[in-house]
Chains A and B, each alone.
Chain A
Amino acid sequence: MTRPAFSRLPVAVNLPLLLQALAAIGEDSWRGHFNSAYHSGDWSGVALISAADALSELSCGRGQPLRRAPWSADSRWHAALRDWPLDIVSARLLRLGPGARIHEHRDYDLGGADADLRLHVPLLSPPEVDFWLDQQRIPMMAGECWFLDLSRPHRVDNRGAEPRIHLVIDCRPSPWLEQAIVSGLRSTPAASTAPSDFERFRRQVHSDPELARLLQGLHQVDAFMERAQALGAEQGLHFTPEELRAAMRRGRRQWREQWKA
């Protein structure tokens, strides 16, 4: 069975109740994530339900799911989710601050037939947030519930001045959830094909041999990356070193993995 990359589930979300519960979470409850090569800026979380052996608010574990203090102390969380027959492994609030980014990566633990399924419920979702999954921008709006296959390459960029906060729920696969994913596909809005700045720069490089020539002669990775960013910026196209590195990784992988079935 192959799952779609994403699907907006045909379920009702009690957004007002969830926002009330969110407002009651004190600033000191948010735990930041430090020293990660995978993000820049504020990326922090609050665990509502998490495995007994989870190392932090932002990581998963394999143990029994435990209801954490913010969940137990506020019945509104349970009230908002009780209509969904989900087998919840973890439920977390994840915040990406203004200007923060999560660089492209894959959550390999979410791949495979028996892996947990991850749902995203955007609570605060400013329009300047770009969530890219498989090179497509996912048009998630506050008050919706989305299944995302995050074992595929994805990255998030909050270009706005407001934080983005999602309720992120990991569930065991179940017939109800599988059915909701499939039946949600019909009404799922199309992912935006508007190209990212990097993709637009790539197309320019392909259509302009002179521009390509400036990059083809550079053998050192650092010099190449610096030049590519500068040439992009000259055209008003801004991308990060991480986006460029991710593209290089993708390019190497596409060649090497072609013989894998």
Chain B
Amino acid sequence: MEGLNLDGWLPIRVWQEAGQWRVDWCWFADARLLQPFFGDAVEEALRLPFNQAFRRQTPLSALTQWQQQKPGLEPAALIFHASRCGSTLISQMLAQLDDHIVISEPPPLDTLLRGDIPHAERCAALKGLVSAYGQRRRGPEQRLVIKLDAWNIGELGLLRECFAQTPWLFVYRNPLEIAVSHLRRPGMHMVPGMIGASVLDDGLPFSGQEDFIARRLGRLLQTGLEQCRAFAGTALNYNELPAAMAGRLAGFFRLDADHCRQALACARVHAKQPTHAFAEDGEGKRREASALLRERVLKWTQEPYAALELLREGC
């Protein structure tokens, strides 16, 4: 088999064409991925004319071939989350660390997890994709951390099959605060029909945005709870941040004192809008909630949220 040379290239897109799954690779050279989301890093890389005209496109099997030829870092941790709950703060704190690679919500990972792909092929591609992200492009990289899209908590079992040894975190927050954030500016998974079939669907008609958001949030927290129980996940509440980074998360991510100091220095800026300072905004969000939203959120999320809190305190 002809040797591949994909040094400096990262998969940015997986798609199906004429029945075949394919991978779109973009040239990143030794650029660090410091942006809040992998998609932002892609946008940046695509400003290079070379990446508009000369990206590489390969069959899905190239992921496996590249992994066999040059295995990347194994994932050190997976971050699942309930959205709008501090997971980006955590990934941004880790991204500051020179020896960490943090890949945040990469679109190809979601495509491989939820696309219509035969099981064996899907698992091989998932391992190959993660290995490609775990390539040492600079030199000092020792740890690979991957943050998933919120709805991928439904595909946790699949990821456990591929990465059985990798510890994983489920980050969540007071559901009323999450719901208010989605009412202000809905995430993709809180817009009907936007992301396709996922674990968040309950298949029932809904009556308005408050009802829709609260029900999907309920399913998200319930799934997180069940997965934590079934697969020994570590649950973390937003209200433990950012201090937990020097506390129990330091243990979880195996960070030393220097790591913790650097990571916390980053916490003074807002994770998704780096020009804004990070500020605890829970109270403002709760005050903003309407009576209808409170009622819906309470009805659909109270049980799983309370159970998650119990689970967390027990650990």
Contacts and interface: CB of A to CB of B under 8 A. Distances in A.
Of A202, A248, A255, the most chain B CB neighbours within 10 A belong to A255
Contacts of A225: 49
Majority SS at the chain A contact face: helix
Given A209-B5, A216-B48, A255 B53 contact: no
Contacts of B42: 255
15 contacts: A206-B54, A209-B7, A212-B50, A215-B50, A216-B48, A219-B49, A220-B49, A221-B49, A224-B49, A225-B49, A251-B55, A252-B46, A254-B55, A255-B13, A255-B24
A205 B13 contact: no
B38 interface: no
Q: Which of under 10, 10 to 19, 20 to 34, or 35 or more describes the interface residues of A? A: 20 to 34
A251 B51 contact: yes
Interface string A232-261: 000000000000100111011011001000
Contact of B53 (A209, A220, A247): A247
B29 A216 contact: yes
A141 B29 CA distance: 46
Interface residues of B, number: 21
Interface string B128-156: 00000000000000000000000000000
Nearest to B5: A209
A228 interface: yes
B15 A251 contact: no
Chain A to chain B: the 5 pairs with minimum beta-carbon distance, closest first: A248-B52, A224-B49, A251-B52, A247-B53, A248-B53
B311 interface: no
B160 interface: no
B54 A202 contact: yes
B13 A258 contact: yes
Contacts of A202: 53-54
Interface string B103-132: 000010000000000000000000000000
A206 B48 CA distance: 16
Contact of A258 (B15, B49, B50): B15
Nearest to A202: B54
A218 interface: yes
B15 A255 contact: no
Contact of B13 (A220, A221, A249, A254): A254
B12 interface: yes
Contact of A248 (B7, B24, B27, B49): B49
Contacts of B248: none
Interface string B1-45: 000010100001101000000001001010000000000001000
A251 B53 contact: yes
B214 to A, nearest CB: 25
B56 interface: yes
B2 to A, nearest CB: 9
Given A228-B53, A258-B15, A258-B107, A251 B46 contact: yes
Contacts, number: 54
Contacts of B56: 206
B46 A215 contact: no
Given A209-B5, A255-B12, A244 B53 contact: yes
Given A258-B15, A258-B107, A252 B27 contact: no
B190 to A, nearest CB: 16
B54 A212 contact: yes
Contacts of B54: 202, 205-206, 212, 215
Contact of A219 (B27, B46, B48, B53): B48
Contacts of A258: 13, 15, 107
A219 B52 CA distance: 11
Given A216-B27, A219-B47, A255-B12, 17 more contacts: A202-B53, A206-B54, A206-B56, A209-B7, A212-B50, A216-B50, A219-B48, A219-B49, A224-B49, A224-B50, A248-B52, A249-B52, A252-B46, A252-B52, A254-B24, A254-B55, A258-B107
Contacts of B29: 216
A225 B50 CA distance: 9
Contacts of A247: 52-53
Contacts of A254: 13, 24, 55
A232 to B, nearest CB: 12
Interface string A191-230: 0000000000010011001001001101111001100100
A244 B52 CA distance: 10
Contacts of A212: 27, 50, 54
Contacts of A215: 49-50, 54
A204 to B, nearest CB: 10
Contacts of A221: 49
A251 B42 CA distance: 12
Nearest to A243: B53
Nearest to A246: B53
A26 to B, nearest CB: 44
